[in-house]
Structure 1
Amino acid sequence: MREFIVEADGGSRGNPGPAGYGSVVLDATTGETLVEAAEYIGVATNNVAEYRGLLAGLRAAHQLDPSAIVHVRMDSKLVVEQMSGRWKIKHPDMKPLAMQASQVFPPERVTYEWIPREKNKHADRLANEAMDAGARGEQWSAADSTAELEAAAAKVEADVRAATVVGKVSSPGWAPADLGAPATFVLLRHGETPLTPQKRFSGSGGTNPSLSEVGREQAERAGAALARRGTIQAVVASPLARTRETAEIVARHLGLEVSIEEGLRETDFGAWEGLTFGEVRERYPDDMNRWLADPTAEPTGGGESFAATGARIEATREKLVAAYAGRTVLLVSHVTPIKTFVQLALGAPPEALFRMELSAAALSVVAYYADGNASVRLFNDTSHLR
């Protein structure tokens, strides 16, 4: 099953005023542009133009492969929230467009993500080209478009800036397609255990709980969703009971075997195992304060520091990137390791771990390219559990 990314945008010079849309379909693995679409649509609002761009992008993806999985990225919070079902659609001009968009693919095969405007430059440029053509009394022409070149140039500039910040400057001609397919880690947190709803510390040194009934159902749903995508080529799990059980349930849906990787285990929380945050704060206030302030501080009783966990995850990452270069692998792990994968990929400081919320059975995705750079593609997605 193929996987596409649809980026779409729309604009109106007057709101309402002369309006146009742009959309682009990308190969989710290589980032290659497969189809561009743009059109001047006359007088309309921004929101109507954005919906028209979404509809055009979905239809273009459907023409390429009607059985594909599609991930839509737009800088319109309104469209993303409405199409995700979180906001109601009240405007009469948008209701029929949203209905048409929801019928292009089965809803379970389309996901939506809001992105900042600067990340949507390709579609934005297409929409502006369409409006420019309309102002000249013409229609947009793919042959005359420079949107893809401009978007690629902007991406290279952004990549070089980001690489400079973390001390890794790639070649100015860098683009994902130049480096081949990345090693893509689909990171799945295990399903709920009896300790999860109570928010108790549950690491490598505790009671090693198994999944609850809720956790097993979450694993089944995750497995079904990943099977529909059809992109997972291997399954690797932490050695703890809850991750092994989650991985085995998912692997049955995928028809794959489970490999065990010791480096994916959860942090050892020492004497805090089985306690809530509040209980630790009450019993070990000084140790808790040091742990929150210093990445090298260990939990009471000789647990594992964040610095030690980070070093372990970094070594595990290098090992798995080498083993699964160019492949998509499911890693079934825990809160701290998954957050650490993301923190390291972003080049963020250790305190970033405290600013991430990761739900039970949530999916996150990080891709690793041959030049050492990483791309965080998804974080804490729980749409498959609804």
Structure 2
Amino acid sequence: MRVLIVEADGASRGNPGAASYGAVVRDGRTGELLAELAEAIGRATNNVAEYRGVIAGLEAARRIDPQARVEVRMDSKLVVEQLSGRWQVKHPSMKPLAQRARELFPPNGVSFAWVPRSQNKHADRLANQALDAASRGEVWRAQVLPAAGEAAHSPRPVSSAAVSSQAASPAASPAASLAPVSRPAVEPRAPAAGSADLGAPTRLLLLRHGPTALTGEKRFSGVGADPELTEQGLAQARAAARRLAGPHGAADPRYGRVDAVITSPLRRARQTALAVAEAAGMEPRVEQGFRELHFGVFEALTFAEARAQYPDELAAFFASTAGAAPGGESVDEVASRAAAARDRALVRFARKTVLIVTHVTPIKTLLCQALGAPLTAVHRMELSAASLSVIDYYDDGVTNVRCVNDTAHLYDTGHLYGTPGG
């Protein structure tokens, strides 16, 4: 029998006050993330919000596999004890919610367990993001994730007025309404001196794609033109493949064998990812959250051209990570979706080594978050084309940045595969 794990949480600012829930569903055998759900529910108590999270998670699990056995994990002792039948449900507002939760799966098909809040961060983050979106007058959209290997879209908030127009307009910016978050979803902290062995980390190898014609001309290149790699770019992608996968799956001993390859949906990243994935004998997964920042009206312009044509807009973009070019998105927005995509990778491939082929901005925001640095630091980093940056993530929240902008693989027996910054 298949086992599904439901993690659920609720939030209420005021208790009662503005409330929301978050829930995720995972495969019990592999840990793969199957669904993310979040919704602001108006004014309610924290207990009601917790119940709504359980119900949403169980409903999603039922849609995925109604015959599965479900294990629900929450940090609410009250809800766990009540749904386990050990405590009575006395409050009138919670009785129908408890009944609904019990109806979704037979009693012998579901169990409820309490976990510490530190083990329920994913659902907690979703609940708070939904609540933050509601405070701005936006509606939070969440959806069941696609099957392995398909494009995965993160839940995202959209303004109420824009819901119908975005659905009708395929040309709308794919991330124009993503909301920024004030903190990374995985909060970095340093290991304590003399701490016990933390176990094997989940290692993310962040590889920037090889150069395109726009890269060489130092033009803004986000999601607009979607250029392909140049011959130099293809050569650099092959060089990265030799280093990270090599003949018969050999790998750089400093970083270990690549267990999975994830790529941005943009062509230049997919071409780079395919070189490594083919060398490693695997298929790359496409993840929308790792696409480059949408530069709006700056797309395909040099810095000098953008400053001449849009001086005020360019100044605003660099003055704040919340600033966006007209028609584009901000660094904050990229940080939000890249963090959500990272979290999915950490869950799917726990304690494995994952190659993520992406772009300058997503890599820089992930490095800032891992270091606990402000996002303004993205403008103080150099990331060459086809460069490698590596971050280790431990189960207890410790992060360790192993390297930044490593281009050693571009030198093969003394031959340089194009200039690293080209």
TM range (shorter): 0.5 to 0.7
For each residue in 1:252-280, what CA deviation from the matched residue of structure 2 results, as whole angstroms up to 9, or x when unmatched?
Answer: 11112111111010000001100011111
Residue identity opposite 1:338 in structure 2 = I
Secondary structure of 1:196's partner? helix
Secondary structure of 2:220's partner? coil
1:120 aligns to what?
none
1:220 and 1:376 map into 2 onto residues whose CA distance is 25
Residue identity opposite 2:358 in structure 1 = S
2:308 aligns to what?
282
1:168 and 1:374 map into 2 onto residues whose CA distance is 6
Paired residues of 1:170 and 1:371 also in contact (CA < 8 A):
no
Q: Which structure has greater helix proportion?
A: 1
1:239 and 1:274 map into 2 onto residues whose CA distance is 18
Secondary structure of 2:370's partner? helix
For each residue in 1:343-365, what CA deviation from the matched residue of structure 2 results, as whole angstroms up to 9, or x when unmatched?
Answer: 11001111110111000000110
The answer as to 2:208 corresponding to 1:182 is no
- Normalised by the length of structure 1, the TM-score is 0.54
For each residue in 1:303-330, what CA deviation from the matched residue of structure 2 results, as whole angstroms up to 9, or x when unmatched?
Answer: 0101111111111121111111100000
2:277 aligns to what?
251
1:219 and 1:241 map into 2 onto residues whose CA distance is 13
2:124 aligns to what?
none
For each residue in 1:2-49, what CA deviation from the matched residue of structure 2 results, as whole angstroms up to 9, or x when unmatched?
Answer: xxxxxxxxxxxxxxxxxxxxxxxxxxxxxxxxxxxxxxxxxxxxxxxx
- Check 1:385–1:344 CA distance in 2 against 1; reply closer, same or farther (3 A cut): same
Select the residue among 260, 275, 279 that pairs with 2:286.
260
1:231 aligns to what?
257
2:323 aligns to what?
297
- Check 1:241–1:169 CA distance in 2 against 1; reply closer, same or farther (3 A cut): closer
1:254 and 1:349 map into 2 onto residues whose CA distance is 36
Select the residue among 275, 296, 299 that pairs with 1:270.
296
Paired residues of 2:238 and 2:275 also in contact (CA < 8 A):
yes
- Check 1:171–1:224 CA distance in 2 against 1; reply closer, same or farther (3 A cut): closer
- Check 1:259–1:167 CA distance in 2 against 1; reply closer, same or farther (3 A cut): closer
The answer as to 2:337 corresponding to 1:337 is no
Paired residues of 1:364 and 1:377 also in contact (CA < 8 A):
yes
Residue identity opposite 2:233 in structure 1 = G
1:250 and 1:218 map into 2 onto residues whose CA distance is 11
Paired residues of 2:389 and 2:405 also in contact (CA < 8 A):
yes
1:181 and 1:358 map into 2 onto residues whose CA distance is 27
Q: Out of 317-326 and 195-204, give the one that drifted further.
A: 317-326
1:210 and 1:167 map into 2 onto residues whose CA distance is 35
- Check 1:385–1:168 CA distance in 2 against 1; reply closer, same or farther (3 A cut): closer
List alignment gaps of at least 5 residues for structure 2.
1-186, 412-422
1:192 aligns to what?
211
Secondary structure of 2:357's partner? strand
1:371 and 1:170 map into 2 onto residues whose CA distance is 9
- Check 1:362–1:168 CA distance in 2 against 1; reply closer, same or farther (3 A cut): closer
Select the residue among 325, 328, 333 that pairs with 2:353.
328
Q: How much does 1:302 deviate? A: 2.2
Paired residues of 2:387 and 2:406 also in contact (CA < 8 A):
yes
2:301 and 2:209 map into 1 onto residues whose CA distance is 19
The answer as to 2:365 corresponding to 1:365 is no
List alignment gaps of at least 5 residues for structure 1.
1-165
Q: How much does 1:173 deviate? A: 5.8
Residue identity opposite 1:343 in structure 2 = C
Paired residues of 1:266 and 1:335 also in contact (CA < 8 A):
yes
Secondary structure of 1:195's partner? helix
Q: Alignment length, in residue pairs? A: 217
1:284 and 1:237 map into 2 onto residues whose CA distance is 32
Paired residues of 2:190 and 2:399 also in contact (CA < 8 A):
no
Q: How much does 1:224 deviate? A: 0.4
2:335 aligns to what?
310
Q: Out of 312-321 and 194-203, give the one that drifted further.
A: 312-321
Where do 1:338-357 residues align within 5 Å? 338-357=363-382
The answer as to 2:237 corresponding to 1:219 is yes
Q: How much does 1:238 deviate? A: 0.4
1:383 and 1:167 map into 2 onto residues whose CA distance is 27
Q: How much does 1:168 deviate? A: 5.0
1:45 aligns to what?
none
Q: How much does 1:174 deviate? A: 3.0
2:227 aligns to what?
209
Q: How much does 1:381 deviate? A: 0.6
1:302 and 1:220 map into 2 onto residues whose CA distance is 35
Where do 1:102-121 residues align within 5 Å? none
Root-mean-square deviation (Å): 1.6
Paired residues of 2:260 and 2:284 also in contact (CA < 8 A):
yes
Secondary structure of 1:286's partner? helix
Aligned residues with identical type, % of pairs: 48
1:170 and 1:225 map into 2 onto residues whose CA distance is 30
